[in-house]
Amino acid sequence: MKLSNYFLPIIKEIPSDAKIKSHQLMIRTGMIRQSTSGIYSWLPLGFKILKKIENIVRDEQNKAGAIEMLMPTIQSAEIWKESGRYDSYGQEMLKINDRQKRELLYGPTNEELITQIFRDNIKSYKSLPLLLYHIQWKFRDEIRPRFGIMRCREFLMKDTYSFDLNEKNAEISYYKMMLSYLKTFERFNLKAIPVKADTGPIGGNLSHEFIILADTGESEIFTDSEIFNFETKLLEYNDVSLKKLSSHFSKFYSSTSDLHDVNKFQKQVPKKNQIIKKGVEVGHIFYFGQKYSKSLNAIVNTRESKSVNVYMGSYGIGVSRLVGAIIEANYNNNFMKWPKSVTPFQAVIINLGKDNDTVTIKANNLYQKLIHNKFDVILDDTDANPSSKFKNFELIGIPFQIIVGSKHHDDEFEFKELGKDSKIVNLDSLISILKEEYSNC
Ligand code: P5A
């Protein structure tokens, strides 16, 4: 991509209504624009990052054995009346009437709809266990939308639903998802802590929120620093690994403020290990057993020909909120660096030449060669002055820069990883460095 052909509306000043750094950065680098309160358009840069995050979330769901589908954004009120949540969900639900005066709503979540699909199509224990997910926009008429896409009204969620024959199997599904979440967040270089949480309007009796520590977060967590001593890389989706995981996370105190028990915390966690911090909730998982399968009548036949209401859980990741969480973790003092797995471009070529001089020709040739080698790079071919080019790209946060200026020989390029010293390399080593850097992404 050539910057002169791209749509990247950069804003120099910090927008006065953006209170946290992720919101400021997203506005300044033209990732999003507000359409109306709590509703945003995703401009090309933001959209590209959002899609990369979505694809990693999808990849990890698939690895955990979940199957992708797609449910609509608009749902019928009928099933919500059956579950009893049509009224209890409250004003966060956006209710709509169509021209026939039928009651519809913009889905804030999908427990009802997926249970209806299950009930109408699955009758036998032979289809279980089953994990179904979709990645779809949700609408919640939040009373106070704020912090840009962190707490907005329309947001992208990945929601998975598990179906099992009994409580024991349902617990396996629950920990499968917990493991898959830890693996997912690690791919963004985020350390997410599962903390015991309130189940709120989703319901049920077992629930964990996944929190990324950040001072600007809206959640407060209380935990033990020992909880971090855990490696998920080698764990697989088998009984042994899942047991290890569940026993580690049940061993240490971890709670949101809703469920916090001061006495228990003081007793259980040594002073030096106590962590009381703010964080961003990037995921939330729930086990609610037969809550929806009873109200919506989702029944399977067992091997012994008995009828059983299926045991369910639901598992959400705030895909669009993750964009903000990743920024909160990586942006400081006008300086952003995207993790390699989600960077909008793999490298930027900064051309310091003018018009059609030899430097510009060299930058163009390099651009063609990198594209030919299947790298996704952006060439700053604008006539902005060098210092504003550098400033802009420190803000945009592409982790690697290749600076093409008049100082260097024909086959020499200045290669710089953000936050590190630059080095002079030739084309072949430049290509092998980039290949190596992106080999695991
Ligand atoms: C789990 C999946 C649920 O809705 N039903 C289906 C369950 N859980 S949740 O905790 O309410 O939401 C899941 C994740 O969605 C993100 N999220 C939001 N992101 C931006 N703006 C919002 N207003 C918003 N509300 C929820 C969070 O990351 C949350 O963990």
Residue nearest to atom 3 of ligand 1 (CA): 316
Domain shared by 417 and 312, yes or no: no
Residue 2 lies inside a defined structural domain of this protein = no
Residue 425 lies inside a defined structural domain of this protein = yes
Compute the distance from residue 333 Cα to the ligand 1 centre, in Å: 29
284, 288, 317, best to mutate for ligand 1 pocket (most atoms within 8 Å of CB): 284
Q: Is 164 in the pocket of ligand 1 (CB under 6 A)?
A: no
Strand duo 74-76 + 94-97: pairing: unpaired
Residue 9 lies inside a defined structural domain of this protein = no
Distances (CA, A) of 47 to 25, 31, 51, 343: 14, 7, 6, 12
Domain shared by 208 and 290, yes or no: yes
Domain span at residue 73 reads 21-330
Domain shared by 77 and 48, yes or no: yes
Domain shared by 50 and 188, yes or no: yes
Domain shared by 236 and 105, yes or no: yes
Residue 5 lies inside a defined structural domain of this protein = no
Amino acid at the residue 261 = D
Number of domains in the chain: 2
Residue nearest to atom 20 of ligand 1 (CA): 151
For the record, the structure tokens of 348 come out as 């930027």
Residue 205 confidence (pLDDT): 78
Per-residue pLDDT reduced to its tens digit, 312-321:
999 999 999 9
Backbone angles phi, psi at 329, to 5 degrees: -80, -15
- Using N-to-C axis directions, what is the helix angle for 319-330 and 21-28, rounded to 10°? 100
Compute the distance from residue 283 Cα to the ligand 1 centre, in Å: 7
Backbone angles phi, psi at 273, to 5 degrees: -100, -5
DSSP category for residue 151: B
Per-residue pLDDT reduced to its tens digit, 336-391:
999 999 999 999 999 999 998 999 999 999 999 999 999 999 999 999 999 999 99
Q: HSE-up of 366 (CA within 13 Å, CB side)?
A: 34
Residue 313 lies inside a defined structural domain of this protein = yes
Q: Is 115 in the pocket of ligand 1 (CB under 6 A)?
A: no
- As a whole number of angstroms, the distance between CA 311 and CA 298 comes to 9
Q: HSE-up of 265 (CA within 13 Å, CB side)?
A: 19
Domain shared by 320 and 352, yes or no: no
Residue 12 lies inside a defined structural domain of this protein = no
Segment (H or E) for 403: strand 400-404
Segment (H or E) for 64: none
Q: What share of the chain is helix, strand, coil (3-state, %, to 5)?
A: 40, 30, 35
| Closest by CA position to 415, among listed 407, 406, 424 | 424
* CATH code of 109's domain: 3.30.930.10
Compute the distance from residue 326 Cα to the ligand 1 centre, in Å: 17
Signed CA dihedral, 240, 245, 246, 251: sign only: positive
Residue 132 confidence (pLDDT): 98
Considering 302, 330, 358, which residue would you say is the last residue of a domain?
A: 330
157, 209, 212, best to mutate for ligand 1 pocket (most atoms within 8 Å of CB): 157
Report how far apart the first and last C-alpha atoms of the chain are (Å, whole number).
Answer: 20
Considering 307, 330, 353, which residue would you say is the last residue of a domain?
A: 330
Residue nearest to atom 22 of ligand 1 (CA): 151
Amino acid at the residue 421 = D
Domain shared by 414 and 291, yes or no: no
Q: Is 138 in the pocket of ligand 1 (CB under 6 A)?
A: no
Compute the distance from residue 54 Cα to the ligand 1 centre, in Å: 15
* CATH code of 364's domain: 3.40.50.800
Residue 64 lies inside a defined structural domain of this protein = yes
Whole-model pTM?
0.97
Domain shared by 165 and 216, yes or no: yes
Residue 183 confidence (pLDDT): 97
Amino acid at the residue 70 = L
Domain shared by 84 and 122, yes or no: yes
Compute the distance from residue 203 Cα to the ligand 1 centre, in Å: 14
Residue 404 confidence (pLDDT): 97
Residue 247 lies inside a defined structural domain of this protein = yes
Compute the distance from residue 288 Cα to the ligand 1 centre, in Å: 16
For tokens 């509306």, name the residue.
Answer: 9
Considering 272, 307, 330, which residue would you say is the last residue of a domain?
A: 330
Domain shared by 324 and 213, yes or no: yes
Residue 125 confidence (pLDDT): 98
Q: Is 313 in the pocket of ligand 1 (CB under 6 A)?
A: no
Which residues, given as ranges, of the chain have pLDDT below 70?
none
- As a whole number of angstroms, the distance between CA 381 and CA 325 comes to 31
Domain shared by 313 and 284, yes or no: yes
